[in-house]
Structure 1
């Protein structure tokens, strides 16, 4: 289990000046990831940020990978703060970062432990 600290709030979304294109791109990346997880998880690894993928260790995305055990749910909402984003579904929360080649998942299968700390099944460090 990994931890991620969420140091942002709803007010940040109002103040960040993020365009709807940023939110749209982040939401599309989160939806692609959720669809890949629902299809078995193999292609979901290509959508992970390098650090999240490396954190899977020797099991990687093979059989028994934490990616294969992630909940399958549709993205309900996405909020962007600069180059960071949070996508929520009814089952969990995803965290994303915008890299030069697009949005990547930095934390998946995340559930709040308290107001600022999330425990994530994948990534989240």
Structure 2
């Protein structure tokens, strides 16, 4: 598992995100989860470059870490500038906003403590 450090307390102090930002990030997270459920390979296109590169030879095929990401409806999204966190009942995803839209930087993430998440995909 890959570890993701998220200083949520500091991020929560940042304000100024719009409902549109939250909606766009949440839609990107849901699109990723749907792509995973549909077989995983199209989910790779929705990953941030570093998260995709972190998969190595395993890629996004059957049995890869992407294939193991829990499925579920996104129920909450919080945006801090160009970073976001989306949650479902089964998963926490992290996203970053690139010039061409939101990309998943961490998926299949479970909290290890208040600031650190272990992620199946990405998280570095």
After TM superposition, the score normalised by the length of structure 1 is 0.94
Partner of 1:84: 83
**Contact 2:39–2:61 under 8 Å retained in 1:** no
Task: Give the whole-Å Cα distance in 2 for the aligned partners of 1:11 and 1:52.
Answer: 21
Provide structure 1 residue ranges, at least 5 long, that are not aligned to the other structure: none
Measure the CA separation in 1 of the matches of 2:62 and 2:31: 21
Shift of 1:41: 1.0
SS of 1:118's equivalent in the other structure is: strand
1:64: how far off?
2.1
1:43-122 mapped onto 2 (5 Å cutoff): 43-122=42-121
Q: 1:1-31 CA deviation, whole Å, 9 max, x = no partner?
A: 1000111239726x41111111111011011
Name the residue aligned to 1:32: 31
Alpha-carbon distance between aligned partners in 2 of 1:67 and 1:91, rounded to the nearest angstrom: 15
Q: Which consecutive unaligned segments of at least 5 residues does structure 2 have? A: none
In 1, Cα distance between equivalents of 2:50 and 2:75: 25
In structure 2, distance between residues paired with 1:20 and 1:63: 35
CA root-mean-square deviation: 1.4
* 1:23 alignment partner in structure 2: 22
* Alpha-carbon distance between aligned partners in 2 of 1:111 and 1:36, rounded to the nearest angstrom: 20
Would the alpha carbon gap of residues 11 and 95 (structure 1) be closer, same or farther in structure 2, given more than 3 Å must change? closer
2:9 equivalent in structure 1? 9
Aligned residues: 124
Which residue pairs with 1:124 in the alignment?
A: 123
